[in-house]
């Protein structure tokens, strides 16, 4: 029997397509590229901090440029586009519709992202990814700051367009025989974050406009000399970016709901509690934005309200974790590479959540605020929980996209390097924070404990970075030379590979 192998389509056919699978692939390719660029900047920062004093980055301003572009890239060009890419690829299939509701609008939303990214990368601003005034409004050099502002405006419009398209596709275009409470939990995660984007992004868009007009000298929204208040920017910023943490996280949670039942060979323990937890997290995300501002002079009552609002996210998150563990309990688990990354993501979810509780408690937050504890906590969420879930799902969906299998041995090596590197660098940063090292500093006092812990953290970062370089090599080679996958059961689990193969992928 001779297998008929389809020839790859010309690249321009994909670039100018409006089909949801092609747009999804473009999102995924771009986001992985952004991950590697942001990772290279992170490794440069960690190399600079290997010893106290100036090492490879020539001056503090360049260091802060690296820091700003690294943070912006990882948040806005890796985490959000990747979730949108997988959503584009799978949501129409999951709701049994021919495409997204508005295919051309879908393509426009994607092509805005490279434009925004080009402005951010070419500008190379030093405002930090938070762009707090008064530095961002009065001292940050132009046109880098302006390019950063307009790049983020473009990315925000892209996110809003994509969110509208997802909502309409799932609520208005799904098959009439598919009740909403029968949709995939991954589809639910995309639906919830789409509503969150529509509520959260306009606030940050307003803050960016106000920052720009302050820079022009037209207004003084955040200038105390003109009656403004810099803390007002922080409220606008965090009203968007605390929910944004869940916008990064929930697609990864949805992907875990796809992988864990399959590799456990069991149905999900409780579908209803998964939906409930998604809705709770989507709501609670807007109730606790000021827990990042407990040291800004708010009243004790305000601080207590935001502390309690933050703690309310714990039981909702625990519902997901319990669901995953109960699903795995008693299952015949197959520890393929996607499942290894899924389990690693859950373990780091525990670790990151524990650190977040410390930041929530008022007395402990005063000790850890603006220290490396916060750096370690946030990165355990983004590079631990979220990125490991995303990476596992890339391996999981790779046979569907390419028709080939990745190299399992290289995948396992990548997992070992990724989780060990992430734990080494970010758990060490927690300890650095307890030792009092402030974040975002170009240089540090040559205290022996600080030096050795920075060296341990930098070593862990390079271990994780090498693992992700191996990951990209594995994907590229396997997509061209990997063995052909059994599309009904590529991981030899003994069950049909979901229902994604009910129609042939467009590509």
Tens of pLDDT along the chain (507 residues) come to 334 445 667 778 888 899 999 999 999 999 999 999 999 999 999 999 999 999 999 999 999 999 999 999 999 999 999 999 999 999 999 999 999 999 999 999 999 999 999 999 999 999 999 999 999 998 888 899 999 999 999 999 999 999 999 999 999 999 999 999 999 999 999 999 999 999 999 999 999 999 999 999 999 999 999 999 999 999 999 999 999 999 999 999 999 999 999 999 999 999 999 999 999 999 988 888 888 888 888 888 888 888 888 888 889 999 999 999 999 999 899 999 999 999 999 999 988 888 888 878 788 888 888 899 999 999 999 999 999 999 999 999 999 899 899 999 999 999 999 999 999 999 999 999 999 999 999 999 999 999 999 999 999 999 999 999 999 999 999 999 999 988 888 998 876 555 554 443 333
DSSP 57-92: S-SHHHHHHHHHHHHHIIIIIIIHHHHHHHHHHHHH
pLDDT value at position 289? 86
The answer to whether the beta carbons of residues 363 and 450 sit under 8 Å apart is: no
Rounded distance between C-alpha atoms, residue 261 and residue 500, angstroms: 15
Q: What angle do CA 27, 31, 33 make, to 5 degrees?
A: 120
pLDDT value at position 6? 52
CB neighbours of 366 closer than 8 A, spacing ≥ 6?
A: 294, 295
Positions of E strands within 159-246 = none
Rounded distance between C-alpha atoms, residue 485 and residue 41, angstroms: 36
Burial of 179 per CB tally in 10 Å (0-12, 13-18, 19+): exposed
Cα 307 from chain centre: 24
DSSP 103-146: HHHHHHHHHHHHHHHHHHHHH---STTT--TTIIIIISPTTHHH
pLDDT value at position 497? 56
């Amino acid at each position: 029997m001779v297998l008929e192998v389809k020839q790859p389509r010309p690249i321009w056919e994909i670039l100018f397509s409006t089909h949801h699978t092609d747009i999804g692939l473009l999102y995924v390719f771009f986001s992985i590229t952004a991950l590697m660029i942001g990772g290279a900047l992170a490794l440069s920062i960690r190399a600079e901090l290997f010893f106290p004093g100036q090492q490879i980055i020539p001056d503090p301003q360049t260091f802060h440029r690296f820091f700003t572009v690294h943070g912006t890239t990882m948040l806005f060009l890796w985490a959000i586009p990747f979730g949108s890419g997988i959503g584009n690829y799978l949501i129409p299939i999951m709701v049994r519709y021919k495409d997204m509701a508005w295919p051309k609008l879908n393509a426009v939303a994607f092509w805005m992202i490279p434009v925004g990214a080009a402005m951010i990368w070419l500008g190379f601003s030093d405002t930090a990814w938070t762009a707090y005034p008064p530095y961002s409004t009065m001292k940050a050099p132009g046109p880098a700051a302006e390019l950063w502002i307009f790049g983020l405006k473009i990315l925000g419009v892209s996110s809003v367009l994509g969110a509208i398209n997802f909502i309409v596709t799932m609520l208005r275009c799904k098959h009439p025989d598919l009740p909403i409470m029968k949709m995939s939990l991954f589809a639910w995660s995309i639906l919830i974050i789409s509503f969150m984007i529509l509520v959260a992004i306009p606030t940050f868009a307003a803050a960016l406009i106000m920052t720009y007009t302050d820079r022009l000298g037209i207004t003084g929204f955040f200038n105390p000399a003109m009656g403004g208040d810099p803390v007002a920017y922080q409220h606008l910023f965090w009203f968007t970016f605390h929910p944004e943490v869940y916008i990064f996280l929930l697609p990864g949670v949805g992907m875990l709901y796809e992988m864990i039942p399959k590799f456990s060979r069991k149905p999900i323990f409780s579908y209803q509690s998964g939906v409930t937890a998604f809705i709770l997290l989507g709501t609670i995300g807007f109730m606790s934005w000021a827990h990042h501002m407990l040291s800004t002079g708010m009243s004790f009552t305000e601080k207590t309200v935001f502390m309690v609002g933050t703690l309310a996210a714990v039981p909702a998150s625990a519902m997901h974790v319990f669901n995953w563990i109960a699903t795995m309990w008693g299952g015949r688990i197959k520890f393929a590479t996607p499942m290894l990354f899924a389990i690693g993501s859950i373990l780091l979810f525990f670790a990151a959540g524990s650190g977040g509780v410390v930041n929530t408690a008022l007395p402990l937050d005063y000790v850890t605020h603006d220290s490396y504890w916060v750096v370690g906590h946030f990165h355990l969420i983004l590079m631990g929980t979220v990125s490991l879930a995303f990476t596992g799902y890339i391996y999981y969906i790779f046979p569907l996209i390419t028709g080939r299998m990745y190299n399992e041995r290289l995948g396992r090596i990548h997992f070992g390097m990724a989780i060990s590197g992430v734990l080494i660098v970010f758990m060490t940063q927690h300890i650095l924070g307890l030792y009092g090292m402030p974040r975002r500093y170009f240089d540090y006092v040559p205290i022996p404990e600080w030096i050795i812990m920075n060296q341990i953290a930098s070593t862990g970062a390079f271990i994780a970075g090498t693992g992700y370089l191996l990951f990209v090599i594995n994907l590229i080679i396997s997509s061209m030379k990997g063995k052909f996958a059994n599309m009904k059961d590529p991981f030899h689990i003994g069950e049909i590979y979901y229902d994604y193969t009910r129609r042939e992928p467009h590509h």
